Amino acid sequence: MPNENMEPGVSACPKCGQAMHPAMVKTAIWRGERLCVVEDIPAQVCDVCTEQFYDEETTDALRQLMEEDTAVPKREVLVSVFSLEGRIHRREPDPEGVYADY
């Protein structure tokens, strides 16, 4: 629900209706097997749910950048890759719910 006490010029978060403020953000995008980080993205960030929204021009620029095969990264970072394999602990099935065949 929109916040009635919002300052003028401040837009409401489409997700939760609270005030958003401009901020420079970064995002990570997979291009096939390649993980790309894009920074210096002007966004509106919700103060409450931290959701980020880009305007149309920013979305277009981001899409164009990701479609450009010749785009040159400004730097490279080493990314740590973790795995959840063997770390998921499923609960035992409820014995009451198991059908016993005598």
Q: Which is nearer to Zn ion, 2 or 95 (CB)?
A: 2
Give the 3-state secondary structure of residue 101.
Answer: coil
Residue 46 in the binding site for Zn ion (CB under 5 A): yes
| Residue from the set 6, 10, 16, 45 that interacts with Zn ion by CB under 5 A | 16
Residue 38: closest CA among 13, 16, 67, 9: 67
Q: Which stretch binds Zn ion (CB under 5 A): 9-17, 57-65, 66-74, 80-88?
A: 9-17
- Token pair, residue 5, equals 């006490």
Q: Which stretch binds Zn ion (CB under 5 A): 13-21, 58-66, 71-79, 81-89?
A: 13-21
Write the CB contacts of 44 (distance below 8 Å, at least 6 apart in sequence): 11, 20, 21, 22, 23, 52, 53, 54, 55
Please give the residue ranges that form the binding site for Zn ion (CB under 5 A): 13, 15-16, 46, 48-49, 51
